[in-house]
Structures are given as C-alpha cells and as structure tokens.
C-alpha cells in the first residue's frame, strides 16, 4: 500500500476511529471511499464537516450483500470497521449484532473476493479475549465470549480468516485494545468522565472502577492500521494494537480529574454495571507482534493522549453534542 492515489474503502468511516483513519489516509495521498451508515436524515456522522478532493462519501448498509459488491468494485485496500460495538446494547438486541458484525463481515469478505481486493483489514476487538488468563495478552490467548458483542466479533474474525484459508483472500485481523480520543461516544468511560466534569457536574456517575484497560490514543490505533496495511507478512495473521500498559478505571479517573483541575466525586450507577460474568476485569495487551512485523510503537503516553482528548471536548461546539444527563448504551 505504498502508492499515492491507491483506491481505499473505509467502512464505518462515519464513526470514531473510522473518521480519524479516513483523515490519516487522505493525508497519505490515498483516494478514500468512505462508507457512512444510511439514514433518512442524511447524517454522515463525523464525516459531516470533512471535505477533501480525494474523499468520496457514500451511504449504505453492510448487511446488504449486493450493496457490498458495488462499493468494493475498483478498491485495492479495504479497512472494515463498520460494526455494532456498544456492549450494553448487545444484551438488549443480540440478533442485530449477529446481522451486522458476522453477516456484515461475511458480505464484505465475499465482495472483496469477487472484486479482487489486494488487502482487507478486518477490525476485531480486545473484548474477544475476555478477562485476562495471563498478561500481557498475546494473540495466542484463548477467546472468551463474555458478551453477545464479543461473541459476534469472535465469529466475524473466524469468518474472515476462513476466507484467507479457503480462498487466499489477503486478510489481516486487526485487534485494537481500548481506543480513546476526540469524537468517541459517551458510552465509553473516558468521554463519560470528561464530559461530566466539563459540564460542571458535582458527582460523576460511573460503573465498576476496578477493571483495568490497555488504553490507546486514536492516532496510535490508526497508525497501527496503516502500518499493517503495508505489511505483507501480516496477511493471514491476528495482530494486537496495544500499548503494553494497563491502568485501572479508578486511576484513569484520577488522571483526568487532575488534568482538569477537578475535585469531582464518584458515584456508582448500577445501570452502568455489566452482568456479573460479563464484565472483563483485566485487559493488558502484548504489542510485540505488531512491533516485530512493522516496527510500530505507540507515540502517545496516556497523559499526552488525555490532554489532547480533554482539549477537544472542552470546545463548546464539540461538548454540546454530548448528553451527560443520560446513560448512553
């Protein structure tokens, strides 16, 4: 993927990571076809204000196999990020996760095969590992479906790898650990903390603060995607994008409060707690494989990434898009 002007498709480009990846690909000189989920409001999510001569925004749904065949025509590299990702909502509507995450990935892989894509990067998640059996978690760690969401992502990864094994489709399974940064949904803990402090709340409503996570700033995650897209040795592989560092939710809250000069108090909100056996209590990712394959190393410390994230959320034009008074599933 070295050539400028290469034809690239990003599914889920209207979302948090997808929009940042789209911007990074455009800066690298790629021609980007960006897929936004179709809706009658003509809302392109985080692509609404994005303009570039090499950007083509299209709307549609990866659950439609015929549509997937159309959008992958003439495409060299596919970054497949489109998915349903909210874990709490997967408890309520698991069938929609099967349709979008598993069948949607099947549709993209079949379309990529038929249209001769040169590379397809399928987005996985660290949630497929469940609570760590050992740390740091490498790609050989057992898969543990602790939520309907993670189960569908395990299924999607398996579908994609089956196309590599059966049809030699040039698939890479990209497995980011917990990504954060500007534009992230308030369903995630870091935007939840920042937005509640920024809007002057006296108490912050959160779930369990004991779990640990391996947080990765969104620019580092996108850099990992692009490095893997250029690496022939990554084809047929599952590869973590991780910082090789863990931090508890409570310590994350403390860092954010310090950076925002806040003495806010924490209140446990029971509706934000996962079912007992569904909570993933420890995630700490091993990034030695991506380093060996591509030379990738993260550029941002947790403090550096949080500073940039806080600065973005403190812009009143950005903050007004977030409803701190309700729990986002």
Question: Taking the domains of the chain in order of start, what are their residue ranges?
Answer: 7-179+215-241, 184-213+246-284+301-319
Note the pLDDT of residue 59.
Answer: 98
- CATH level 2 (architecture), domain 7-179+215-241: 3-Layer(aba) Sandwich (3.40)
Give one word for 217, left, alpha or beta, with left for phi > 0 and alpha for psi -120 to 50: beta
The pair of structure tokens assigned to 40 is 């009658």
Whether the domain at 7-179+215-241 and the domain at 184-213+246-284+301-319 fall into the same CATH topology: no
Q: How confident is the model at residue 5 (pLDDT cuts 50, 70, 90)?
A: low
What percent of the chain is modeled with pLDDT above 70? 95
Note the pLDDT of residue 296.
Answer: 97
Q: How confident is the model at residue 325 (pLDDT cuts 50, 70, 90)?
A: low
State the number of CA atoms in the 13 A half-sphere of 276 facing the CB.
Answer: 0
Q: Is the Cβ–Cβ distance between 135 and 284 less than 8 Å?
A: yes
Is omega for the bond preceding 184 within 30 degrees of 0, making it cis? Answer: no
Q: How confident is the model at residue 1 (pLDDT cuts 50, 70, 90)?
A: very low
What pLDDT, in 10s, does the model give residues 170-181?
A: 999 999 999 999
SS (H, E, C) 90-123: HHHCHHHHHHHHHHHHHHHHHHHHHHCCCEEEEE
β 55-60/31-37 pair status: parallel
Mean pLDDT of the chain: 94
CA 90 to chain centre: 16
Backbone phi and psi for residue 179, each to the nearest 5 degrees, phi listed first? -90, 140
Topology, domain 184-213+246-284+301-319: UDP-galactose 4-epimerase; domain 1 (3.90.25)
Strand, helix or coil for residue 158? helix
What mean pLDDT do residues 136-153 have?
97
Note the pLDDT of residue 201.
Answer: 83
Q: How far does the chain reach from its first CA to its final CA, in angstroms?
A: 37
Distance in angstroms (rounded) separating the CA atoms of residues 7 and 78: 9
Note the pLDDT of residue 139.
Answer: 98
What pLDDT, in 10s, does the model give residues 48-73?
A: 999 999 999 999 999 999 999 999 99
Q: Is the Cβ–Cβ distance between 11 and 68 less than 8 Å?
A: no
Please identify which residue in the block is written with the tokens 């987005």: 123
Q: Whose CA is closest to 177, among 217, 223, 237?
A: 217
The pair of structure tokens assigned to 321 is 């898009």
Contacts of 11 (CB under 8 A, 6+ apart): 18, 35, 62, 78, 79, 80, 81, 82, 108
3-state helix, strand, coil in the chain (%, to 5): 40, 15, 40
């Amino acid at each position: 993927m070295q050539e400028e002007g290469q034809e690239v498709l990003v599914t889920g480009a209207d979302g948090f990571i997808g929009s940042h990846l789209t911007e990074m690909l455009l800066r690298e000189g790629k021609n980007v076809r960006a897929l936004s989920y179709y809706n009658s409001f003509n809302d392109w999510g985080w692509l609404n204000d994005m303009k570039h001569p090499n950007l083509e925004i299209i709307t549609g749904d990866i659950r439609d196999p015929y549509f997937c065949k159309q959008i992958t025509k003439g495409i060299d590299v596919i970054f497949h990020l489109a998915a349903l990702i909210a874990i709490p909502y997967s408890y309520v509507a698991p069938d929609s996760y099967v349709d979008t995450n598993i069948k949607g990935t099947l549709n993209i892989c079949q379309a990529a095969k038929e249209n001769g894509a040169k590379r397809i990067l399928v987005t996985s998640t660290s949630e497929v590992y469940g609570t760590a059996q050992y740390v740091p978690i490498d790609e050989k760690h057992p898969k543990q479906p602790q939520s309907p969401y993670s189960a569908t992502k395990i299924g999607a990864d398996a579908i994609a790898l089956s196309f590599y094994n059966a049809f030699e489709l040039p698939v890479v399974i990209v497995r980011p650990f917990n990504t954060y940064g500007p534009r992230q949904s308030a369903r995630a803990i870091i935007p939840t903390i920042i937005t509640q402090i920024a809007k002057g709340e006296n108490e912050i409503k959160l779930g369990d603060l004991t779990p640990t996570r391996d947080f990765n700033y969104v620019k580092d995650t996108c850099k990992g995607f692009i490095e893997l897209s250029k690496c022939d040795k990554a084809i047929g592989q599952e590869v973590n994008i991780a910082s090789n560092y863990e931090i508890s939710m409570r310590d994350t809250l403390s860092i954010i409060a310090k950076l925002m000069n806040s003495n806010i108090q924490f209140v446990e909100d029971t509706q934000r707690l996962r079912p007992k056996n569904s909570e993933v209590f420890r995630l700490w990712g091993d990034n030695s494989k991506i380093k060996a394959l591509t030379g990738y190393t993260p550029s941002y410390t947790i403090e550096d990434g949080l500073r940039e994230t806080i600065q973005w959320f403190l812009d009143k034009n950005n903050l007004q898009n977030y409803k701190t008074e309700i729990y986002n599933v």
